[in-house]
Amino acid sequence: MSVRAGREFLAIPGPTTVPDEVLRAMHRPAVDIYSGPLLALTDGLLRDVARVFNTKGHAYIYIANGHGAWEATLTNVLSKGDKILVLESGRFAIGWGENARRMGVEVEILKGDMRRAVRPAEVEARLKADKDKKIKAVLVAQIDTASGVVNDIEAIGKAIRAAKHEALLMVDAVASLGCMPFEMDAWGVDVAMSGSQKGMMTPPGLGFVVANDRAREVHKKAELRTPYWDWTDREGPQHYQKYAGTPPEHLLFGLRQALDMLFEEGLDKVHRRHALLAESVRRAVGVWSEGQAIGFNIIEAEERSDSVTCVLTNGHDPEALRAYCNQKCGVVLGHGIGDLSGKAFRIAHMGHVNAPMVLGTLSVIEVGLGALGIPHGKGGAQAAIDWLSAEVKA
């Protein structure tokens, strides 16, 4: 027996739920790529992607997922043999650095772990020790989707400046753009990247990169540049240059709709919605933790992200819980990845999410914990409800 008929709830950290409005915006005939509405569409999207990152810098839209956008950032500012510093706080900055290493870049990892945020003081100390300024760039994820951590990018930017170091600050905002503030210029970020399929509520397939003037200056001497990713080519006057070929028209129409929805709600309110829903998830996990089996992966409460929560199951099988939630109740949870494979599940609360989706997901997890006999404090969903009742005023 199951109770899963009806709409499936996707609570994985990407791809996320695509709004019906975005799906409808994509459902249209193809249009000319040399004239007409597509040209103005591109101009508006490049402007608005930069706006979401809060930068006066340049935006580039690639036909790519996050991994492609990673490669775009690396090829445009680095040369073979350059050294970079990767700040560990989960899996994703490490993965980005791994790609750099395979492209011939020397990679040093500033040791962190799966359970905490990057410590800006350690970044400052490492950069101060780099007397002959060999480190060309510092790579970090704002939210690491594997660990569920949020890093303080502003503080890391300050640490780099306090060390009087020239390294570019490069930030992965795949799991955070559209979910929490990103102040590229104010925080001193030189290059940032993201993708369409998480907080940006658009199907997978678009990669976003933004670069400031400092990065575009470094770009001029970068030797890893390749034709497809190259910023200079993409800044050319012809519309087709902006995509290095046929534009991903339908995804662009979808993205336009998604951006319109974000701006209509208001980015501040979008971020506040994420913070409220994320805290409701944390309230529930906090109560479940009283049973001694369930626990937060991220140890410090203020380092837990507003887009994804990683939950440890301490000796109980998270895959059994995921299977139950999916097969019996129609909720798809994220699995643990990297070192947390088989040890954790993840609840995504990013993008097109609202209270019923999050409360429904939490309730289903609690149903599953009960059905599988996984020890947990009772009333987690109620704690989430109480939090929203108190915070979302009548």
Ligand X SMILES: *Cc1c(COP(=O)(O)O)cnc(C)c1O
Among residues 172, 230, 249, 306, the one that binds ligand X under rule CB under 6 A: 172
Q: Write out the binding residues for ligand X, residues 37-76 only, by CB under 6 A.
A: 65-67
Task: Work out how close the CB of 379 gets to ligand X at its nearest, in angstroms, rounded to a whole number.
Answer: 31
Smallest distance from the beta carbon of 202 to ligand X, in angstroms? Answer: 12
Element (H, E) at 308: strand 308-312
CB 215 within 8 A of CB 166: no
Smaller CB separation from ligand X, 87 or 381:
87
Q: Closer to ligand X at the Cβ: 141 or 298?
A: 141
Kindly tell me which of 248 and 380 has the beta carbon lying closer to ligand X: 248
Q: Which of residues 181-200 bind ligand X (CB under 6 A)?
A: 195
Nearest distance from residue 198's CB to ligand X, in Å? 6
- In this structure, are residues 350 and 13 in contact, taking their beta carbons and an 8 Å threshold? yes
Residue 251: CB atoms within 10 Å:
19
Residue closest to ligand X when measured from CB atoms: 66
Contacts of 241 (CB under 8 A, 6+ apart): 233, 234, 235
Beta strands (DSSP E) in 80-154 are 83-87, 106-110, 135-141, 143-144, 149-150
Q: Which of 60, 62, 92, 231 binds ligand X (CB under 6 A)?
A: 92
Which residue, 68 or 318, is less far from ligand X as judged by CB? 68
Shortest CB 64 distance to ligand X, Å: 8
- State the nearest-atom distance from the C-beta of 216 to ligand X, in Å: 23
Find the part of the chain contacting ligand X (CB under 6 A) among 107-115, 140-148, 279-287, 340-348.
Answer: 140-148
Q: Which of 11, 50, 77, 174 binds ligand X (CB under 6 A)?
A: 174
Q: How far apart are CA 42 and CA 37, in angstroms?
A: 9
Does 14 sit near ligand X (CB under 6 A)? Answer: yes
Length of the chain: 394
Q: Name which of 175 and 369 has its Cβ closer to ligand X.
A: 175
Name the residue nearer to ligand X (CB basis): 69 or 287.
Answer: 69
Q: Which of 124, 144 has the CB closer to ligand X?
A: 144
Q: Is 196 exposed, middle or buried (0-12, 13-18, 19+ CB in 10 A)?
A: buried
From residue 201 to residue 230, what is the string marking binding to ligand X with x (rule CB under 6 A)? ---x--------------------------
**Shortest distance, position 96 Cβ to ligand X, whole Å:** 7
| Ramachandran angles phi, psi of 320, nearest 5° | -65, -40
In the complex, the smallest distance separating the C-beta of residue 149 from ligand X, rounded to whole angstroms, is 10
Region from 170-178, 240-248, 281-289, 323-331 binding ligand X, contact rule CB under 6 A: 170-178
- From 141-149, 241-249, 252-260, 269-277, give the range in contact with ligand X by CB under 6 A: 141-149
Can you tell me the distance from the alpha carbon of 263 to that of 178, in angstroms, rounded to the nearest whole number? 10
Closest distance of CB 137 from ligand X, Å: 16
CA-nearest of 307, 309, 303 to 283 is 309
Shortest distance, position 298 Cβ to ligand X, whole Å: 15
Question: Which H/E stretch holds residue 59?
Answer: strand 58-63
* Shortest CB 277 distance to ligand X, Å: 18
For ligand X, which stretch binds (CB under 6 A), given 171-179, 258-266, 281-289, 361-369?
171-179
Q: What is the rounded end-to-end Cα distance, in angstroms, of the chain?
A: 39
**Radius of gyration over alpha carbons of the chain, in Å?**
21
How far CA 383 is from CA of 38, 133, 257, 386, in Å, comes to 48, 50, 35, 5
**Amino acid (1-letter code) at residue 386:** D
Q: CB of 332 within 8 A of CB of 325?
A: yes
DSSP codes joined into one string, 170-201? EEE-TTTBTTB---HHHHT-SEEEEESSSTT-
- Tokens 């500033």 label which residue? 110
| Residues found near ligand X in the complex (CB under 6 A) | 13-14, 65-67, 92, 141, 144-145, 172, 174-175, 195, 204
